[in-house]
């Protein structure tokens, strides 16, 4: 096999496959880093998933990893595996601009976020930072600093957001692993739109610093092509960090361990949560996935959790957080913001403390509803997003009841309000060839149960070897 062929294939391997190849001596982390960097150079001009690529540091880290593997002393299964970092997470030596012109790139960039620090400790190869809408405020990925990010399955479509660059990078083989954040669906929406896997863990499972201006809505999560890779990445980033006062104790067992048997699980299937409108193609694919859970041994019952759409209360919490993000900016700097962000900041600044506390109380009531619901059901299945990916560069598709991204994401933000673990895994494609996601929600602290169920579905309905059209070889002249 030629070196060119090896390099081309190396960019498509999962993290688990790379660890096996390193252990057997079939591949070097340097070969893989170079393959991923070559993939970025070839594919990213069409997608705009990266806002920063540091080839020199990536190759340097890969060489150090290769030396550890040669000595038989790897730091773990992520040693030498390429990873991208969403540009809202501090990364030592690289500016974290959060998709905004209002942040000084020459600032003090001497700290890592907790999850990034854990990746370095495990020997991962950091290749660059991925795009995000300004301050990660919306469910698509475009903004005044980095422009429009596009979907590998159809570059005219959005990859979703706000972790859209991360999802596009994973789907297109521009690093098998990515770190994203999720305050209202921001890892799950792009996973659904790009045919990748993710889990928003229980709040506090992954330490977060600095604290998000969106408060306890925001989670850090792994973004990958397979459930197994997500479990290994989640293992790595759960380590303790004293800078996050709300962080949970690290888990006592690996998320990669344990049974992945659905037999006996009580699973609720809610096709619309009782209030959402769902595209017929999406509805049919998600229903088929729920039926597959039953075929695999789960006791599946169609039922709704019993809450009304909490969008008004979520928007109070989210828009007030956005207003807090930009409160230090003068009028001249505010004029540089994404116009949609300016609008929600102005709205958020008008909410009173009493209205915010009322939304918080409604949030607690929603948590109580879901806590009682999960006394009866081990898991809840829903669509991740009620539609397939729409035109890139828009906040909402034509016909949405409002111009805001919350108008088409009814299945994601409720479970940020309740802090529950929620995964999105591919469950099929529309007639146009666009991916559709199934959301798997568990009770708080049941991250391992959610991952195990997703692993069982993945084993029965594998998807990760289906690659997007953007990876097709260029046409010969």
Q: Which amino acids are annotated catalytic?
A: 86, 162, 186
SS3 of residue 428 by DSSP: strand
N- to C-terminal Cα separation, the chain: 26
Judging by DSSP bridges, how do beta strands 266-269 and 422-429 pair with one another? unpaired
Give the whole-angstrom CA distance, residue 171 versus residue 193.
Answer: 10
CA-closest candidate to residue 421, choices 357, 464, 374: 374
| Angle separating helix axes 311-325 and 353-376, nearest 10 degrees | 130
**How does DSSP assign 165-182, residue by residue?**
HHHHHHHTTS-SEEEEEE
Judging by DSSP bridges, how do beta strands 379-383 and 266-269 pair with one another? parallel
Residue with the two structure tokens 């739109």: 193
Sign of CA dihedral 440, 443, 445, 449: negative
Burial string for 255-284 (b: 16+ CB within 10 Å, else e) reads bbeeebebeebebbbbbbbeebebeebbbe
CB-based contacts of 335: which residues, under 8 Å, 6+ apart? none
CB-based contacts of 355: which residues, under 8 Å, 6+ apart? 316
Residue with the two structure tokens 């880093």: 33
| Angle separating helix axes 339-350 and 311-325, nearest 10 degrees | 110
Tokens of 221: 């999560």
- Number of alpha carbons in the 13 Å side-chain half-sphere of residue 450: 28
**How does DSSP assign 311-355, residue by residue?**
HHHHHHHHHHHHHHHTTT--HHHHTTS-HHHHHHHHHHHH--HHH
CA 393 to chain centre: 19
Q: Give the chain's length.
A: 477
Q: Contact, 448 vs 256, CB < 8 A?
A: no
Q: Contact, 452 vs 381, CB < 8 A?
A: no
């Amino acid at each position: 096999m030629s070196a060119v062929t090896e390099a081309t294939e190396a960019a498509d391997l999962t993290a688990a496959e790379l660890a096996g190849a390193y252990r057997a001596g079939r591949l070097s982390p340097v070969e893989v880093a170079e393959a991923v960097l070559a993939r970025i150079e070839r594919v990213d001009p069409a997608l705009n998933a990266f806002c920063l690529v540091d080839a020199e540091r990536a190759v340097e880290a890969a060489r150090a990893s290769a030396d550890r593997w040669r000595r038989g002393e790897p730091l773990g299964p992520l040693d030498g595996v390429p990873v991208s970092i969403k540009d809202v997470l501090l990364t030592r030596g690289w500016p974290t601009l959060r998709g905004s012109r209002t942040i000084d790139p020459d600032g003090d960039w001497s700290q890592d976020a907790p999850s990034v620090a854990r990746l370095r400790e495990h020997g991962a190869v950091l290749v660059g930072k991925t795009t995000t809408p300004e301050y990660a405020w919306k469910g698509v990925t475009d903004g005044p600093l980095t422009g429009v990010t596009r979907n590998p399955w159809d570059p005219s479509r959005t990859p979703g957001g706000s972790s859209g660059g991360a999802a596009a990078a994973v789907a297109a083989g521009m690093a098998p692993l990515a770190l994203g954040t999720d305050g209202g669906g921001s890892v799950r929406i792009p996973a659904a739109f790009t045919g990748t896997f993710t889990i928003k863990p229980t709040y506090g499972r992954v330490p977060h610093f600095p604290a998000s201006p969106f408060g306890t809505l925001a989670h850090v999560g792994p973004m990958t092509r397979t459930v197994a890779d997500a479990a290994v990445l989640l293992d790595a980033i759960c380590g303790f960090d004293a800078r996050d006062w709300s962080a949970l104790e690290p888990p006592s067992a690996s998320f990669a361990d344990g049974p992945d048997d659905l037999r006996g699980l009580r699973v609720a299937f809610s096709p619309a949560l009782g209030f959402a409108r769902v595209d017929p193609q999406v509805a049919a694919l998600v229903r088929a996935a729920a039926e597959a859970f039953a075929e695999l041994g789960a006791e599946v019952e169609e039922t709704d959790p019993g809450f009304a759409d909490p969008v008004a209360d979520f928007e109070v919490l989210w828009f007030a957080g956005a207003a807090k993000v930009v409160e230090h900016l003068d009028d001249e700097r505010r004029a540089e913001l994404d116009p949609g962000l300016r609008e929600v900041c102005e709205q958020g600044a008008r909410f009173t403390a009493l209205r915010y506390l009322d939304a918080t109380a409604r949030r607690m009531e929603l948590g109580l509803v879901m806590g009682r619901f999960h006394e009866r059901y081990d898991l809840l299945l829903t669509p991740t997003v009620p539609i397939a990916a729409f035109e890139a560069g828009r906040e909402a598709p034509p016909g949405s009841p409002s111009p805001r991204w919350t108008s088409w994401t009814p299945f994601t933000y409720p479970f940020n309000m309740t802090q529950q673990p929620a995964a999105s895994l591919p469950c099929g494609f529309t007639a146009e060839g666009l991916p559709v996601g199934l959301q798997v929600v568990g009770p708080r602290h049941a991250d391992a149960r959610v991952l195990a169920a997703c692993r069982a579905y993945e084993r029965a309905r594998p998807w990760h070897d289906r690659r997007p059209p953007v990876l097709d070889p260029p046409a010969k002249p």
